[in-house]
Structure formats: structure tokens, C-alpha cells
A and B are shown apart, each in its own frame.
Chain A
Amino acid sequence: MPDWQERITHETAPAIRAEHDLRYRAAAPLIIQAGSWADLGCGNGLAAADALGARRPAHAVLVDVAEEAVERAAAELAMPGAARIVADLTDPAALAEIGGQLLALGGETFVTCFEVVEHLSSFLPLIQWAGTMASERGCTFFISVPNDEFWAIQNPHHLSAWGEGAFEELRRLLPAQHTLLRQVSLSGSALVGWDAPLERHSLEVEVGGPGTVATHFLAAFGPRHLEVARSALAVQSEMLEQRRWERERENDVAVSQRLAIEYREQLRQREIWFEEWRKYIHELERELNRPLSGAGENDLPDAEPSSSATGNAG
């Protein structure tokens, strides 16, 4: 069974953490420079805290549908003075309240909204409100949605499905001036000293190009949309966990295949016995002048074995 982790915690797999961290890192310069920053769907605030390091914006508005998440985010970010709003982002009144709070704080405003849209039963109020805030109130937005088309299974927490096509539909509803980004997955390797403690390396990777498949789609709009940073982040894989997952999967497949062969052989053997028994029983029934029991040679038996034998043509 897949482990659906819709909130980032300290236990979240490193690769997933890296995806979230990277988005906040791309936003970090704008968050810090902004007079006020709102994080819609702030969750536990872990990725934002990692990306911002020791720096903090002047004011913050933390918004989530869960009160405990908002409180934890304020603690994680060490921003006890942050405004905390528990809100349903499908509600225009709640959005108006967030906008009011943000504008009241003053200064340049910047809003992050990562991996939220797909969880909303109706994303239109949020998109409408964001478009108005960007066009009329000088607010810059940075949003992301996942590429659901590349998942073989449906995420039960996603109330809308996103992919290249759906994102293009969304793009056409955004203010005309916007920046689009594709977030892509990385694979790699590193050489480290034999007994060395934690090392830090700079990487050079080639990314993008034709045929690039995104894990997530991002859009920035508003006056500073061009300033979102493009970057890459790699983290060490948890090989033990990865190996466990892969081996479990391989083992399950191997066991299933072996069982399938075993069952097929058993079935073949039983079909032979069954035919012998049928012939024998029918011979006896004929000798006793009884109607023939069971299913005919070319028929499938009833799903439930019948208590009283029914005659057939044999």
C-alpha cells in the first residue's frame, strides 16, 4: 500500500523533502525581501524553515486548514509574532480575510502556495482572488501543483487532477505576465571520504531540454514574477529504505509468479482427477439409473456447490 504523506514531517523521505525544500529555496529571496509573506497551506513549516535558514521576513501570515499545523509552523519558523489563520481556501470570505491581513501588514507582499490547489474541492475562488491581488494590489504569487499524470495510482487526497494539459488551462486564467517552471526529478551519485563526517559538495547538473517530464508545475505571477530563482537540490538517498522497498516489491512479484505456476500445475492435475471422477461417477449413475450429477463436460459448475444433484446431458 502506498504511504500517502500529504504533510511534510521530519520522517518524510529525503527525496520528497528535497522537492518541497527546493520550492521554498526558489522563493526564499523574495520571502525575505518582502514586507509581508503569506504561506497558504503552510503545513508544519519545515521546508520553509530549512530554506530560509536564519533569515526571516518582517511579517508573516501562516494559513492552513488545520490549526495545529499553523501553530507548529509558527514554532518551527520561530516566528511567534506571525499572524495565524485557520481557513478553508475555497471560501471567498476567508480569502478576503487573508488579503486584508496581508495588506494591513504593509510593504511588498509575497505569497507562496505550494501543493495546495489539488487539495481544494474548488480552486476557482483561490485563483480568482490571487489574480486580483496580483493585478490590482501588487502582490506576487508563487504556486505549484503536482503532475498527477505520471502516477500509476490515484492519490486519494487530490480532489483535482493535474498534468501538462490542466496546467495549460490554469495558465490561461493567470495574469498575462507570469513565469512558468517545471520541477524535475534528479538522479545521481557522490564520492565521499571513507571515514569522513558530513561533507558538502557543489553540483553541476544538466536539466531540462526536450521531452522533460515534470514532477511538478510552478507558476509565479505578480510584479516580481521574474525573480523566482531556478536552482537544483540533491540529497543523499536512503539506500537502506530504498533497498527494502525494492526488495519487498521484487519478492512480492517473485512469490506471486511462483504461486501462479504452482496453482496452474495444481489446477492441471485436479482437472485430470476431476475428469476421471466425473466419468466414474457418471458410469455409476448410469448403472443405478440415476440422473447424471454435476456439470456437463463443457459447462462450468455453479459458483456454489448444489446440495442436491441436478441432472444434465453428461
Chain B
Amino acid sequence: MKVAFLVNDLALSGGVGVVAEHARRLAELDGWEVTLVLVRNQDEASWHGYEQLAQVSVRSRAQALEDHYDVAVATWWETTFTLFELSAERYAYFVQSLEDRFYRHDEAERMGAALTLDLPVAFITEASWIAQTLAALRPRASCFLVRNGIDKSVFPVLAEPSANDSGALRILIEGAPSSWFKHVHAAIDATSAMSEPRHVTVVTGDRAGLGTVAADEVLGPLNHREMAELYARSDVLVKLSSVEGMFGPPLEGFHRGATCLVTPVTGHEEYIRHGWNGLLTDWEDLRGTARQLDLLARDRTLLSFLRRNALETARGWPSWEQSSQFMAGALLAIRREPPPSGAEAAARLLADLRGGLETYHLHLRERAAYADRERRIRNRLKRLSSTTPIRQLLGLRRFGAVRLLAKPLSPILRRARKALA
């Protein structure tokens, strides 16, 4: 079985990490040949953090074009641009999130990412909510569910959570602060609004994006083993993301005896139960989040209950070994099944493209209307400034006393000029 996973690059990230784990474990199976295809031109091959990929062949796009695969798998929406250039018996798309949500409404990538879900491919996804969404969007497309495993050698399930019966509540905040949907600063703000004693640790690989924050400790970037140690020393992980795929970090924390306080973001429903193994907080509810953290700080019986049940949830979660068996099963099934209908996918793609174009036209019309309004205001101002009274008024500027009297108005005029520009 010859499989190609298409990735942009091997830069250390959650999504690429998942693909690398599957690739590594599939490559260990008898008769499997697994290739990671780097679809972007690389300055240099980056292997940092992926030393375990020794058995996986890594090839450039140009090299992969000369090969033939049983199944070629896109793993990020931009990699679909290369997917059909490769020669393969079947094409698949490993969907780790609905990636259009990573972009704001006025970003062109948003529509591009959404349209890739219309391609004639078999889907594999890592979260039940994505599988359900794909079933609604593409009811006739094959969709296999392969939830991410947890590396139980790196995140072994603790027998007991680390004791903290009276010390400050140990809060961990993790994420990329420059990603708008991770809301790392909001999580830090919530801890600042607490009234109970706490010790806040922020972990990020992007210190510059974080800036100066009210935390007791800022760490990172950390590797998985260092994260595992940190989770074991933490009581609660706070994550207020508005977009997530499978939502792995709280689950890693569960393995090490940390409970979580999270927004009801997609992916949480897979394993987080409010009041059982974690707590849910409302969207953009800084005070409510702070009050829930205060509750955990005060009520150590509740904290212990949640942390123990988090460990129970972790015990029932599959390992990477199990997860990759499902991945292998999915790829074998995709290879066995007939290919999806290109005509059906094309019809769907064009219908969505038409919908997208209509939205785009609407945006353009709105912008044209704004531009027209702005032009009319500018012309009116121009006409106004050429009238005799205004000309005379402006002529007074040559007198020093007038300029002095008008000085207090200069910030307003500066702002008005800036707005008009």
C-alpha cells in the first residue's frame, strides 16, 4: 500500500504533528510505504521535532509527481491544490478542522478553504462534529472517523492527580497568542479578574505575540514531554478558543490529572462533560470565567472530583497505536471503494462557487456604494471650500493671531483630515 500525505511543510504544529504520527505508525506496518509530500518549496528541510520520521520518506512536490500512489491524502486545504497533480488510484482529504473558520469574513482564503470540501475525494476526519458536518454537506461522500490518539508513553495516565489541597490554584494557559481564535489574552485577563490566590503559567512558542502579560510564569516553546510534566503540575487548563478541531490540549491535560475550563468550542463535546471532568464557561464571559476559577480555588473537593474524572476519561481514550489502525483501515477501505463521482462533486463545487460569487458581488456592491458616498461627500466639501465665506475664512490663516486662536481646534482638524484620507 503506497500512501502519500500532502503537507505544506514540516514546521512543528498540531496539525502536522497528527499527520506525522499517522505516517510514522503506518510506515511500520508490513507492506506499507508512506511518503510525506512537501507541497511548498522549502528553503531547507525542517526536521525539528520529527526525528521519529526516520522510516517515512519525505519528498518534494516535484519528486512526488514522478511517483504513483494507491492513495494520495490532502491534509490542509492549500494542499488540495497539489492533490490531483499527483498520480494516484484514489484521492482522500484528511479534514482536521473546517479550515474556512480560520479566516475572517473578508479574507479571500475563507471561500477557498470552504470550496475544497466539494472536491471528489473520500474524507477522513478526526472529530465526530466534523464527520457530522461533512455528512450534512456531502451526504453521499465516504467519510471515515479517525480520532487522534494520545502518545501514552509521553502522556502516561497518572494513577492520582498531584495533590494541591490548600496552595494557590495552579492555572495553565496554552496557545498561540497571535491566532485570533485562540483568545489567549482573554484567558489571561480572566485569571487577573479572580479574587482567590492563583499561580498562572502561560505556555507559548510565540513570546513576541504574547507581549507583557499578568502571569506568574511564561514558558515555551516546550516539547511534548515538557508539556506533560507541566500538565502534571497544573490543576486546571484554561482555553477560551472559538475555533478548534479535535481540541487536543485539554485531553493531554486529562492524562496528567489536570481538569479544564473551556468555552463550548467545537471538539469539546467529544470528551468534556461539564461538572464531571471539566467546566464550561460562556463565550466572552470574563467575569463568569473568573468566578468559576475562584470556585475551583475555594472548593478543593470539586477540583479533586473533576481531576479524578479527567483521569478516568483519559484511561478510556485510545492510544496512537489504536488510532493508526483506524487510519490504516480507512485508507484500505478508500482504496477498495470505487472512486467518487467527479460530476457530482463538480456540480456541488460550481453551486458553491456561484453562491460565493454572489456574496462577493454583494460585498463589491456595498464597497462601491461606500466609495460613491465618500466621493459625494468629498465633492461637497470641495464645493464648500470654494465658496466665498469659506475662502475668506481660510484667508484669515495668514494672520498669526487667528492661527493662535485656532490652535485648540488643530487636533479635531487633523483627525478630520485623517478620516477623509
* A residues at B contact (CB < 8 Å): 122-124, 127-128, 148-154, 160-163, 165-166, 168-170, 172-173
Cβ of B359 within 8 Å of any chain A Cβ, yes or no, is: no
Closest 7 CB pairs of A and B: A149-B316, A173-B329, A124-B325, A160-B322, A169-B326, A154-B315, A148-B316
B318 A160 Cβ-Cβ under 8 A: yes
Question: Which residue of the partner chain, among A122, A123, A169, contacts B146 with CB atoms under 8 Å?
Answer: A169
Asked whether B326 lies within 8 Å of A153 as measured between CB atoms, the reply is: no
**Are A165 and B325 in contact, CB atoms less than 8 angstroms apart?**
no
Contacts A165-B128, A166-B322, A173-B144; A127 near B329 (Cβ below 8 A): yes
A148, B317: Cα distance in complex, Å: 9
| Bound-state Cα–Cα, A172 to B123, Å | 12
Q: Which of B164-207 contact A (CB under 8 A)?
A: none
Residue B147 is within 8 A (CB to CB) of chain A in the complex: yes
Interchain CA distance A287-B189 in the complex, whole Å = 55
- Can you list 8 A-B contacts (CB < 8 A)? A149-B316, A151-B316, A160-B321, A161-B317, A165-B147, A165-B271, A169-B147, A173-B330
**What residues of chain A lie closer than 8 Å to B315, measured between beta carbons?**
148, 151-154, 161
Residues in B281-327 with C-beta less than 8 Å from chain A: 312-313, 315-319, 321-322, 325-326
Contacts of B270 in A (CB 8 A): 165
A91 to B322, CA, bound (A): 17
Residue of A nearest to B127 (CB): A165
Closest chain B residue to A160, Cβ basis: B322
The answer to whether B325 touches A149, judged by C-beta atoms less than 8 angstroms apart, is no
Distance of A168 Cα from B316 Cα, bound (Å): 14
Total count of chain B residues near the partner, CB < 8 A: 25
Minimum C-beta distance from A288 to chain B (A): 38
B143 at the A interface (CB under 8 A)? yes
- Per-residue CB proximity of B119-161 to A under 8 Å, as 1/0? 0000000001000000000000001111100000000010000
Q: Cβ of B332 < 8 Å from any Cβ of A?
A: yes
The 8 Å CB contact of B128, one of A124, A162, A168, A173, is A168
Q: How far is the CB of A2 from chain B (nearest CB, A)?
A: 13
Q: Could you tell me the distance between the alpha carbons of A302 and B254 in the complex, rounded to whole angstroms?
A: 33
In the complex, A124 Cα to B321 Cα: how many Å? Answer: 11
The answer to whether A161 and B325 touch across the interface, beta carbons within 8 angstroms, is no
Query: Is B318 in contact with A168, judged by CB distance below 8 angstroms?
Result: no
Give the Cβ gap from A251 to chain B, nearest Cβ, in Å.
Answer: 22
Please state if B316 and A172 are interface contacts (CB–CB under 8 Å). no
Q: Is the CB of B318 within 8 A of A123?
A: no
- As a 0/1 sequence over residues 214 to 243 of chain B, the CB contacts with chain A under 8 angstroms (1 = contact) are 000000000000000000000000000000
Interface 0/1 of B315-357, CB less than 8 Å to A: 1111101100110111011000000000000000000000000
- Residues of chain A lying within 8 A (CB to CB) of residue B333: 173
CA A127 – CA B330 in complex, angstroms? 11
Q: How far does the alpha carbon of A230 sit from the alpha carbon of B319 in the complex, in Å?
A: 32
Given A161-B315, A169-B326, A172-B145, 7 extra CB contacts under 8 A: A148-B315, A152-B315, A161-B318, A161-B322, A165-B147, A169-B147, A170-B326
In whole angstroms, what is the CA distance A173 to B317 when docked? 19
* Whole-angstrom CA separation of A128 from B30 in the bound complex: 15
Nearest-CB residue, chain A, relative to B146 = A169
